[in-house]
Every structure is written in C-alpha cells, then in structure tokens.
C-alpha cells in the first residue's frame, strides 16, 4: 500500500465514522460536532482527488460557515438538549424500496463507468487559476447570476430570521 492509499483510507475512515456518529448520536450537539469531522474528511478526499479549490471551499464554507450556522441553530433551539430523539423504525417497507432503488442505481452507475475513470494525475496542477479564467470568460453570466442569487439569499434569510418586534 502506498502512502496515497494510506492517507485515503485515513480520511475515508474519518468521514464514514463521523457520519455514523452524526446519524446515530442521541445528543444533537455531539451530532453537530461530529459533522465537523465529516466535512473535514470529505475535504481531505477532495485534496486527494486533486480538487484543491473544492477542498478549500469545503473547509471555508462548510466548516467555517454552515457548521457554525448549524450549531447556532442547535443552541438557539430551546429544550433541544435533553430531548430523546425519536429513532424508532417506522415505514420499513417504503424505506427499503427507496434504499434499494437508490443503491441499485448508484451501484449501476458505478459499475458502468468505473472502467473509464483513471486515477488522478500525480503532477499536481492547481485548479484555481483555470477556474478563475473560466469564471471570467466562458461562465461570466452564471458568475454574475450567482451574485444575484447570493443577494436574494441574503435578503431572504435575514428577513426570515430577523427578530420580529
């Protein structure tokens, strides 16, 4: 096993285990905090796939922004600490059908395409300048529209979250 594989399995382990804790933890604070490690592990996997910009974005937005927001959401909610989260099994048959469909289509997708996927090139080229060039030339309109979307999100979110006096 090469170093690459070792690092990959370490990050995959971190991601999967913390994701399990997120799902199965009874304490919602612990779930939120272990989501931090899930995001972090996914960022590590992005790095291993030579998606450096995506990895940094993952850290910056998901770990730095969304998780903080999530924790605030948890802490803002009253009586969230000592509440037993309902984890009973209901709707077993529809859930099984849905899971089977999703798992089947995903593995079908995987088996039909995995031969074409080559390992990422070892010569690391940073993707950020290429992304910047594309954003400024080919995808200029989506880029500007993104700012409008952000504007709408900002105004809408603050409007809804504002304390109504």
CA distances from 47 to 2, 15, 51, 94, 114 (A): 16, 14, 5, 37, 20
Phi and psi for 51 in degrees, rounded to 5? -100, 75
Q: Binder to another protein among 23, 49, 68, 85 (CB under 8 A)? A: 68
Q: Which of 70, 74, 91, 71 is nearest to 83 (CA)?
A: 74
Which helix (H) or strand (E) element contains residue 73?
Answer: helix 67-76
Which positions from 100 to 139 touch another protein by CB under 8 A, shown as an x/- string?
Answer: ------------------------x---xx-xxx-xxx--
Which residue's structure tokens are 């993707």?
127
Pick 19 or 134: Cβ nearer another protein = 134
Total residues at interface with another protein (CB under 8 A): 46
Binding interface with another protein (CB under 8 A):
7, 47, 52-53, 55-57, 60-61, 64-66, 68-69, 72-73, 75-78, 81, 124, 128-129, 131-133, 135-137, 140, 143-144, 146-148, 150-151, 153-155, 157-158, 161-163
């Amino acid at each position: 096993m090469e170093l690459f594989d070792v690092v990959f399995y370490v990050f995959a382990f971190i991601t999967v285990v913390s994701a399990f804790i997120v799902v199965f933890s009874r304490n919602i604070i612990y779930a939120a905090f272990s989501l931090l490690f899930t995001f972090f592990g996914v960022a590590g996997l992005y790095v291993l796939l030579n998606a450096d910009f995506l990895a940094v974005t993952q850290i910056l937005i998901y770990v730095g922004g969304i998780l903080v927001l999530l924790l605030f959401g948890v802490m803002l909610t009253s009586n969230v600490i000592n509440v037993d989260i309902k984890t009973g099994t209901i709707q077993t048959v529809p859930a099984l059908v849905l899971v089977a469909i999703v798992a089947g289509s995903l593995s079908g997708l995987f088996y039909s395409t995995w031969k074409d996927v080559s390992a990422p090139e070892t010569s690391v080229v940073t993707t950020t300048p290429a992304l910047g060039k594309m954003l400024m030339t080919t995808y200029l309109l989506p880029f500007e529209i993104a700012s409008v979307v952000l504007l709408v999100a900002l105004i809408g979110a603050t409007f809804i979250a504002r304390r109504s006096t």
